[in-house]
Amino acid sequence: MEAFLAQEIRPEKVVSITSNGAPCMATSGFIQFFVKEAKHPLIQFHCIIHQEALCARDSSKKLEDILKDVTKMVNYIMARALNFQQFQALLDEVHAQYNTLLMYNNVRWLSRGRVLERFVACLDEIRLFMNEKGQEYPQLTDTAWLTNLMFFTDFTAHFNVLNKKLQGVGKIAERMFCDIRTFERKLQVFERDIESGQLKYFPNLKIHLENSIIFTDNPPSHQEIHKELSSIVAAAKENCSNRFLQFRKMETTLYFLTSPDKAKYEELDISCLHWLDLENLEMELLEFQKSSIWKNKFYALRATLEKIECEGMTTDSTVGSSENEILKVWNSLPNNFKSMKALRIALLSLFGRLMLVSSCFQH
């Protein structure tokens, strides 16, 4: 607690606390201790980015053997200086897309997808190198193993896209949960895509299956493959839905930040915030919503946030901070809306600088 006080963090002002879900934090550990120090209820979250990473891991458990095989082959090449140099020379000779492989690190949340992507991109060179070294890896010519590898690579790439979307300075809780909800709908699309056999969103798998028809004497039944792989996506969809139930419960309340003009008091979940000065929230909301002056501010805010979101889709860098824009608009409201502004501060503080900590595990 001394460390918090040294940073001028007063427990009685804390609204929520986010952990990695470990028992030493979430059950009878630090969080319960901190609640006693705060002397009021806290909104407790399991880190949304960590949950996404766990969802990605759990959704691919059936394919863990693929990752083990890939890791073993990559380590054979990368962990020995001579092999590494010879493999690099081979990649240079054939003008490959990449000049090296990536080693797997289970602490880095994006590592799984990136390792697989690089492995698939260099697959022909890996086969050639292993043959030259006399290393027998029958998986490299096994159609079933390669099918799972290609699916695994495409599927984890989708999770990596989501993980990167959740990163970034000024990312508010509402936007993060919106990204999660959008991904859940994407999983439905992915499931239908595999069932139909179109494989529009699984490019590596599609190319592999097309080639297997041409170059394999007894190609496997694609219908059975589609059925098996779509069941993995369906399980991932259910897993994600179950993991984010707490955020779904608060969804309407989170929208209050950007859409107080549309909020209904009776739908706001403020049960853990009774210790804040929210006594006049209902009356303030009525006064606010009858004034076009105040409502127009949030019409303009949503247009600005839309612009920031669109620009963020076309550039890798952070174009603007949604958090800053939201603060500007709320700060422009008079103190007649004191309870509304108190709720605004509480909602903006959710996850705090979580994304700055989580970014350490991104690469």
CA pair distance 209, 189, nearest whole angstrom: 20
The pLDDT value recorded for residue 168 is 65
Which residue in the block uniquely carries the two structure tokens 């839905």? 241
The pLDDT value recorded for residue 320 is 54
The pLDDT value recorded for residue 14 is 80
Q: What is the pLDDT along the chain (363 residues), one digit of tens a residue?
A: 677 777 777 777 787 777 776 666 666 677 777 777 777 777 777 777 878 888 888 877 778 899 999 999 999 999 999 999 999 999 999 988 898 999 988 777 788 899 999 999 999 999 999 999 999 999 999 999 999 999 999 999 999 999 888 876 667 788 888 888 999 999 999 999 999 999 999 999 999 999 887 666 666 788 999 999 999 999 999 998 888 887 888 888 989 999 999 999 999 988 888 777 788 999 999 999 999 999 999 999 999 988 887 876 665 544 457 788 898 999 999 999 999 999 998 888 876 554 444 444 444
Is residue 172 within 8 Å of residue 221, measured between CB atoms?
no
The pLDDT value recorded for residue 318 is 47
The pLDDT value recorded for residue 75 is 96
Helix ranges (H only) for 79-172 are: 81-93, 111-121, 123-132, 143-166
Question: Rounded to 5 degrees, what angle do the CA atoms 356, 23, 251 make?
Answer: 55
Closest CA to 269 of 68, 20, 43: 43
Is residue 110 within 8 Å of residue 360, measured between CB atoms?
no
Closest CA to 266 of 255, 281, 277, 246: 281
User: Considering the entire predicted model, what is its pTM?
Assistant: 0.81
Closest CA to 143 of 60, 208, 66, 229: 208
Which residue in the block uniquely carries the two structure tokens 């880095």? 108
Q: What one-letter code names the amino acid at 256? A: F
